[in-house]
């Protein structure tokens, strides 16, 4: 048989994929940090409408007189928007690269963790992006209202969740977000070697791949159970 | 055993390929997957048909030549190479779908044979390590802590088969690269060029058009040598330490 050679391919350029991945991890963590604060604020609704409205007022006056009114709010908004833009840009670039690297489909694919989350992170991410835009139009700019317009933020929340479809929209968004963070957080900890999460993962990789105990790299593998991270040996020590 | 095989047939690199069905009988449970394909090819040749092209060399699980995707899994259902997979892993009457590694940087040359020279170029980009040549060094001249030696050996098990790329939904070779980088990075001999190595290998990987890792873990599941995901963390940490080559 004559030697067959494949035609040469053009070199791809652009930022290193690992840099993109780091950008996603850092901006994703900014998102998680904000979500935790946001959740703390939202829980005020369980204390009572007054507590909720007071909190909403406080974030507008926080840091005064060092900061102007809504000063902190705008700092957070700019930081969040920048993170979101970077996160989505990195995700879109990685998505494009993945499609270019795998333009042909297998006739048969294994259904499993990876093939599920490859789709869930991206399409689910788009769903979250759509939700974020809606959410800002709804509660921040009040361009969209569910129920009636109210002056009190708490009243707007209570009115929204007295409509079944209001509940449905927010519930669906939380499911997508939960799914995204399930992989994003455990995967993200692995990303640039963030020590704590990476160790948790090395100690118990089965958490990520239920049912895969028996393969190497699984729970029963001593190399994984007692892993060592290369401390940087210096040539001077040798 | 009697089997219904569905195999990817493709004449030339740019030809349009297709799945073709072959029925085969009298396969021994003790034969390897490749021996089963040999049997099929003998029958095809006897009938005057073109045999199915596939790669293999050592047939003992160490050279990394022989990967194909079997029923949607790189190297098939067991954690081993295709050459070390035996027909007892299948049942009489099974339908078996056999496809080549699918990744644009690994173009199909013919049938199940793909061009994996992208891996060679990544290894080349890794360059050399500094070592004195001439007389053999004393065995204890360069002590290596046991944990480092163990992890280096673990990573050095990678045979460069490409199953990780084949299984990755992103078409990324991060597991392969991480294994090579961890292997040398754990050893004293690998230290002088450690930063330069990770920078140029990852740059070559990206230039080849291989995808980026999103921690899906399909690679480690498919890997016949069970290279764990933490080699990818290692590579990322090393690249960060090298300042992303900027
Ligand atoms: C706005 C739409 C969004 C899109 C399109 C998007 C897309 C993605 C994609 C594609 C990944 C990588 C998937 C993978 O590793 O397999 C990812 C990772 C991640 N996302 Fe998002 N995402 C979005 C919003 C968010 C939000 C709002 C948060 C935070 C609350 C977030 C947190 C994270 C984290 C922590 C990661 C892990 C980063 C890593 O790989 O290390 N994402 N996102
Ligand atoms: S890491 Fe595993 S799957 Fe990837 S090339 Fe090496 S041996 Fe093959
Ligand atoms: S032929 Fe060498 S590993 Fe399978």
Torsion of Cα atoms, A141 then A147 then A151 then A153, to 10°? -70
Contacts of A93 (CB under 8 A, 6+ apart): A14, A15, A20
Residue range A214-222: average pLDDT? 38
Res A2: pLDDT: 53
Could you tell which of B61, B75, B76, B157 is best to mutate to test the pocket of ligand 3, judged by most ligand atoms within 8 Å of the CB?
B61
Q: What residues contact residue A71 under an 8 Å CB cut-off, 6+ apart?
A: A62, A63, A64
Q: What is the three-class DSSP state of B10?
A: coil
Return the closest-CA partner of residue B201 out of B229, B171, B225, B180: B180
The DSSP line for B27-75 is: --TTSBHHHHHHHHHHHHHHTTPPPPP---SSSSSSS-----EETTEET
Token duo for residue A113: 């963790």
Calpha distance B149→B154 (Å, rounded): 9
Which pLDDT score, from 0 to 100, does residue A189 have? 45
**What pLDDT score was predicted for residue B132?**
79
Minimum CA–CA partner of A187 in chain B: B215
- Mark which of B109, B138, B163 sits at the end of a domain: B109
Domain containing residue B222: CATH number: 1.10.1060.10
Query: In the predicted model, is pLDDT for residue A133 greater than 60?
Result: yes
Mean pLDDT calculated for residue range B32-48: 97
Residue A208, judged by CB atoms within 10 A of its CB (0-12, 13-18, 19+), counts as buried
Confidence tier at B106 by pLDDT (50, 70, 90): very high
CA A200 to ligand 1 centroid distance, Å? 20
pLDDT at A225: 34
Q: How far apart are CA B183 and CA B238, in angstroms?
A: 12
State which ligand 2 atom lies nearest to the alpha carbon of B157: 7
Q: Dump pLDDT digits (tens) for A137-179.
A: 999 999 998 989 899 999 999 999 999 999 999 999 999 999 9
Determine the distance separating the centroid of ligand 2 and the alpha carbon of B139, expressed in angstroms.
30
For residue range A91-104, what is the model confidence (pLDDT) as tens digits? 999 999 999 999 99
Using DSSP's 3-state secondary structure scheme, residue B5 falls into strand
The pLDDT value given to residue A7: 66
Q: What φ, ψ does residue B178 adopt, rounded to 5°?
A: -60, -40
Q: Give the strand pairing for B3-9 and B95-99.
A: parallel
Same domain, B73 and B177: no
Residue B168: which of B114, B94, B221, B241 has the closest Cα? B221
User: Which of B61, B101, B158, B167 has most ligand 2 atoms within 8 Å of its beta carbon, as the pocket-test mutant?
Assistant: B158
Q: Which two tokens stand for residue B181?
A: 């980088």
Task: List the single range of A224-238, B1-15, B65-79 with lowest mean pLDDT.
Answer: A224-238
Closest CA to B162 of B111, B114, B211, B229: B114
The per-residue pLDDT for range B165-182, each reduced to its tens digit, is: 999 999 999 999 999 999
Domain end call among B109, B128, B148 = B109
Band the pLDDT of B111: cuts 50, 70, 90. Answer: very high
With the most atoms of ligand 1 within 8 angstroms of its CB, the residue from A22, A24, A124 to mutate is A24
Minimal-distance CA residue to ligand 2 atom 1 = B176
pLDDT at A3: 58
A22·B168 Cβ contact <8 A:
no
Question: For residue A192, which atom of ligand 1 is closest to its CA?
Answer: 41
Q: Are residues B201 and B140 in the same domain?
A: yes
Residues 13 through 72 of chain B touching chain A, CB cutoff 8 Å: 13-14, 19, 53, 69, 71-72
Model pLDDT, residue A28: 94
A14 Cβ contact partners less than 8 Å away, ≥ 6 residues apart? A93, B206
pLDDT digits (tens, 9 = 90+) for B113-153: 999 999 999 999 999 988 878 888 888 888 888 889 999 99
From the centroid of its chain, how far is CA B164? Answer: 6
The domain boundary residue, chosen from B109, B131, B158: B109
Give the residue from A186, A182, A218 showing the smallest Cα distance to A203.
Answer: A218
pLDDT given for residue A113 in this prediction: 82
The torsion defined by the Cα of B228, B230, B231 and B235, in degrees rounded to 10, comes to 160
Query: How many Cβ contacts (< 8 angstroms) between chains A and B?
Result: 227
CB-nearest to B104 from A21, A100, A121 is A100
Higher pLDDT, B245 or B125: B125
Give the tens place of pLDDT for each residue, B13-34: 989 999 999 999 999 999 999 9
pLDDT at B183 over 70: yes
pLDDT interval class at A226 (50, 70, 90): very low
Residue A12 has a pLDDT of 85
Mutate: best of B181, B216, B222, B243, partner A, most A CBs <10 A: B216
| Class of residue B63 by CB neighbours under 10 A (exposed 0-12, middle 13-18, buried 19+) | middle
Q: What is the mean pLDDT of chain B?
A: 94
**Considering only residues 161 to 190 of chain B, which have any Cβ-Cβ distance to chain A shorter than 8 Å?**
167-172, 182, 185-186, 188
**Per-residue pLDDT tens over the stretch A179-214:** 999 888 865 444 433 444 444 444 433 333 333 333
CA B209 – ligand 2 centroid, Å:
18
What's the structural domain count of chain B?
2
Burial of A21 (0-12, 13-18, 19+ CB in 10 A): buried
CA A1 to CA A14: how far, in whole Å? Answer: 39
What does the pLDDT read at residue A236?
Answer: 41
Q: What phi, psi does B137 have (nearest 5°)?
A: -70, 155
Task: Check residue A66 and give its pLDDT.
Answer: 87
Domain locations along chain A = 15-98, 113-196
B213 contact partners, CB below 8 Å, separation of at least 6: A17, A18, A21, B168, B170, B172, B174, B232
In ligand 3, the atom with minimum distance to the C-alpha of B64 is: 3
Model pLDDT for residues A41-98, shown as the tens digit of each residue: 999 999 999 999 999 999 898 888 888 888 999 999 999 999 999 999 999 999 999 9
What pLDDT does residue B138 have?
85
CA B119 – ligand 3 centroid, Å:
16
> What residues flank ligand 1, with Cβ below 6 Å?
A 21, 24-25, 28-29, 31-32, 35, 84, 87-88, 91, 117, 121-122, 125-126, 128-129, 132, 180, 183-185, 187-188, 191; B 214-216
CB contact (8 A) between residue A106 and residue B72: yes
Using the Cβ of B11 and the Cβ atoms of chain A, whether some distance falls under 8 Å is answered with: no
Residues B21, B138, single domain; the answer is no
ipTM, 2 decimals? 0.92
- B181, B211: one domain: yes
Is there a single domain that holds both residue B238 and residue B129? Answer: yes
Average pLDDT score over chain A: 80
Rounded to whole angstroms, how far apart are CA atoms A81 and A132? 11
Please, how many CA atoms are within 13 Å of residue A168, restricted to the half-sphere of its CB?
4
Find the CATH number of the domain harbouring B41.
3.10.20.30
pLDDT score at A4 = 61
Q: Which domain holds residue B165?
A: 117-245
Same domain, B121 and B241: yes
């Amino acid at each position: 048989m004559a030697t067959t050679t494949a035609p040469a391919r053009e070199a791809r350029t652009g930022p290193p994929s690992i840099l993109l991945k780091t950008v996603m991890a850092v901006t994703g963590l900014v998102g998680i940090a904000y979500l935790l604060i946001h959740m703390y604020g939202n829980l005020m609704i369980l204390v009572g409408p007054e507590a909720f409205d007071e909190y909403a007022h406080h974030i507008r006056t926080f840091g005064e007189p060092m900061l102007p009114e809504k000063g902190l709010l705008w700092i957070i908004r700019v930081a969040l928007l920048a993170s979101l833009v970077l996160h989505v840009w990195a995700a879109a670039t990685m998505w494009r690269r993945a499609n270019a690297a795998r333009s042909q489909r297998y006739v048969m694919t294994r259904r499993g963790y990876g093939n599920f989350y490859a789709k869930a992170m991206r399409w689910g991410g788009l769903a979250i992006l759509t939700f974020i835009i809606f959410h800002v139009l709804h509660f921040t700019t009040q361009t969209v209202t569910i129920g009636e317009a109210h002056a009190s933020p708490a009243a707007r929340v209570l009115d929204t969740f007295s409509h079944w479809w209001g509940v449905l929209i927010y519930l669906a968004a939380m499911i997508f977000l939960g799914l995204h963070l399930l992989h994003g957080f455990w995967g993200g900890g692995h990303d640039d070697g963030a020590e704590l999460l990476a160790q948790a993962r090395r100690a118990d990789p089965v958490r990520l791949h239920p049912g895969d105990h028996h393969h190497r790299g699984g729970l029963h593998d001593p190399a994984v159970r007692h892993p060592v991270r290369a401390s940087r040996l210096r040539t001077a020590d040798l | 055993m009697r089997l219904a095989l569905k195999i990817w047939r493709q004449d030339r690199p740019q030809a349009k390929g297709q799945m073709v069905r072959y029925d085969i009988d009298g396969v021994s449970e003790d034969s390897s997957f490749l021996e089963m394909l040999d049997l099929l090819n003998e029958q095809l040749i006897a009938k005057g048909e073109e045999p199915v092209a596939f790669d293999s060399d050592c047939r003992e699980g160490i050279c990394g030549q022989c990967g194909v995707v079997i029923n949607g899994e790189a190297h098939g259902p067991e954690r081993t190479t295709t050459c070390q997979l035996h027909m007892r892993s299948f049942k009489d009457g099974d339908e078996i779908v056999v496809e080549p590694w699918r990744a644009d940087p690994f173009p199909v040359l013919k049938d199940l044979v793909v061009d994996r020279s992208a891996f060679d170029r990544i290894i080349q980009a890794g360059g050399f390590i500094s070592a004195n040549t001439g007389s053999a060094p004393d065995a204890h001249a360069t002590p290596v802590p046991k944990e480092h030696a163990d992890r280096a050996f673990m990573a050095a098990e990678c045979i460069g088969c490409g199953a990780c790329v084949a299984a990755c939904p992103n078409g990324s070779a991060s597991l392969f690269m991480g294994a090579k980088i961890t292997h040398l990075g754990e050893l004293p001999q690998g230290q002088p060029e450690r930063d330069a190595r990770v920078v140029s290998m990852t740059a070559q990987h990206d230039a080849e058009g291989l995808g980026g890792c999103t921690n899906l873990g399909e690679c480690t599941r498919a890997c016949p040598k069970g290279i764990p995901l933490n080699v990818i963390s290692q590579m990322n940490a090393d690249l960060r330490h090298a300042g992303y080559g900027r």
